[in-house]
Chains A and B, each alone.
Chain A
């Protein structure tokens, strides 16, 4: 199971989620977002637009590497991967 660390900002919008890291079964970043959507309906549309593209001001890191395929989210995820989902800093 890969481990997902969400930015605390997202807990504001999904308060029912535990603030503990989430465990997901996934072999790609796309599968991570789909697993998160199952745990928190609506979360997928916070991370990606209607076309499935990662939103401009959202970053995902897999084992400290920033995701490269922002359109297809095909970056591989290993069983022991640590995934961080962050908001990119922007404006006031």
Chain B
């Protein structure tokens, strides 16, 4: 039985442990600081917290003693000199019939947000950032380096270290940036348990990206996904993946909550199939989690379309599929069914060993110990919750 839940919030890191038959949260560090993501490296036991200081920028914080004490990691994530990216700007233009113009602008990259961490064997630590960087360490976090093949990928305009590239990007931005710019961000990192050289990433807004050689070459992995609200639904790039997660025991099974619906893959993201059931309320949302032991079982926390982005009709529920998305069960026992308008962000739902946990931006934390059949309200007054992980 899992006994600890790590919670990143707008105002600190919380640990939730089970004592005397109850889950009890406690503030465990970073009081007053924005904590975008907290996770345990399963290979080293080290805890990593991705901080977003309002004043002092984004920082990596680590704990070697299970969360008792924290310190800034000696190596911080920094874009190397000369790192640039192509962004899009809307600007005031009195000469335009519309009063505004649109232009692409090549900008120097500075760290706006540390968004997600991933871990592999042999000291591999991966950090996804805004604007759109994958930083990797091969020494347990003693040093970090920007993955240049991905940064310089042709889908983003080519090598802007060396020159002006091809002047066009197929990656778009996300409003999740803390820097105010509409820049892309990497929010999902899945290291294949069969081969740590195989990684799946997801970026907003680009889609799923894969490598088979440890990050030397990258390709889009968006086949089967549909941009059904755009003129080019089957575009290779530009998909608004909200989160992906790979099954540990059956890694060919990968799940995706997308802006445009729920998708599943049973061939390690080579192809995707849409498994949304809009009539049943399973379509829009941010997080998704797959049972680490069973690739056809996954959970989502649906929201009412992208126009509202909150619990449907004020009644909070989790939906689970046990058959690869063929059917979904609404799980409501113990969850508030009146005047509940929770929003659950992309990193704030997780599961393992039968425990399912999620937290909302209204500071509510819910835990189930039976795959979601019954829920316990663990907290109602936490700060806005950004991430919920087991560890």
Residues of A within 8 A of B (CB): 9-10, 13, 41-42, 45-47, 49-51, 53, 55, 57-58, 87-88, 90-91
- Residues facing A in B17-62 (CB within 8 A) are 53-57, 59
In the complex the two chains form, what is the Cα distance from A13 to B96 in whole Å? 49
In the complex the two chains form, what is the Cα distance from A58 to B55 in whole Å? 6
In the complex the two chains form, what is the Cα distance from A13 to B71 in whole Å? 8
List, in ascending order, chain A residues with CB within 8 A of B81's CB.
Answer: 50
| A50:B78 contact, CB within 8 angstroms | yes
Given contacts A49-B110, A57-B55, A87-B54, 18 further A-B contacts (CB under 8 A): A10-B56, A13-B56, A42-B76, A45-B57, A45-B59, A45-B76, A45-B78, A46-B53, A47-B56, A49-B57, A50-B109, A50-B110, A53-B110, A55-B56, A58-B55, A58-B56, A87-B56, A90-B54
In the complex the two chains form, what is the Cα distance from A47 to B74 in whole Å? 16
A-B contact pairs, 11 of them (CB 8 A): A9-B55, A13-B56, A13-B72, A45-B78, A47-B56, A49-B110, A49-B111, A50-B109, A55-B56, A58-B55, A87-B56
List, in ascending order, chain A residues with CB within 8 A of B74's CB.
Answer: 41-42
Residue picked from B53, B56, B76, B108, most chain A C-beta under 10 Å: B56
**B161: shortest Cβ distance to chain A, in Å?**
14
Picked from B55, B59, B108, B109, the residue with its CB within 8 Å of the CB of A55 is B55
Top-7 shortest CB links A-B: A87-B55, A46-B56, A49-B110, A57-B55, A50-B78, A50-B110, A50-B79
**A88: shortest Cβ distance to chain B, in Å?**
7
In the complex the two chains form, what is the Cα distance from A31 to B57 in whole Å? 21
| B55:A88 contact, CB within 8 angstroms | yes
**A40: shortest Cβ distance to chain B, in Å?**
11
**B202: shortest Cβ distance to chain A, in Å?**
25
List, in ascending order, chain B residues with CB within 8 A of A46's CB.
Answer: 53, 56-57, 59
**A44: shortest Cβ distance to chain B, in Å?**
11
List, in ascending order, chain B residues with CB within 8 A of A55's CB.
Answer: 55-57
- Chain B positions 79 through 98: 1 when the CB is less than 8 Å from some CB of chain A, otherwise 0: 10100000000000000000
| A51:B54 contact, CB within 8 angstroms | no
In the complex the two chains form, what is the Cα distance from A88 to B54 in whole Å? 10
List, in ascending order, chain A residues with CB within 8 A of B54's CB.
Answer: 57, 87, 90-91
In the complex the two chains form, what is the Cα distance from A53 to B109 in whole Å? 12
In the complex the two chains form, what is the Cα distance from A57 to B59 in whole Å? 15
List, in ascending order, chain B residues with CB within 8 A of A58's CB.
Answer: 55-56
Contact status of A51 and B56, CB under 8 A, knowing A13-B72, A45-B76: no
List, in ascending order, chain A residues with CB within 8 A of B108's CB.
Answer: 51
| B57:A51 contact, CB within 8 angstroms | no
Nearest residue (CB) in B for A7 is: B55
In the complex the two chains form, what is the Cα distance from A47 to B78 in whole Å? 14
**B386: shortest Cβ distance to chain A, in Å?**
16
Residue picked from A10, A45, A53, A88, most chain B C-beta under 10 Å: A45
In the complex the two chains form, what is the Cα distance from A45 to B76 in whole Å? 9
| A50:B111 contact, CB within 8 angstroms | yes
List, in ascending order, chain A residues with CB within 8 A of B78's CB.
Answer: 45, 50
List, in ascending order, chain B residues with CB within 8 A of A42's CB.
Answer: 72, 74, 76
**B80: shortest Cβ distance to chain A, in Å?**
8
| A51:B72 contact, CB within 8 angstroms | no
Nearest residue (CB) in A for B10 is: A92
In the complex the two chains form, what is the Cα distance from A45 to B110 in whole Å? 11
Picked from B55, B57, B109, the residue with its CB within 8 Å of the CB of A90 is B55
In the complex the two chains form, what is the Cα distance from A68 to B110 in whole Å? 21
**B133: shortest Cβ distance to chain A, in Å?**
11
In the complex the two chains form, what is the Cα distance from A45 to B53 in whole Å? 12
In the complex the two chains form, what is the Cα distance from A9 to B72 in whole Å? 15
In the complex the two chains form, what is the Cα distance from A90 to B34 in whole Å? 14
**A60: shortest Cβ distance to chain B, in Å?**
13
List, in ascending order, chain A residues with CB within 8 A of B111's CB.
Answer: 49-50
In the complex the two chains form, what is the Cα distance from A42 to B56 in whole Å? 11
In the complex the two chains form, what is the Cα distance from A53 to B111 in whole Å? 12
List, in ascending order, chain A residues with CB within 8 A of B53's CB.
Answer: 46
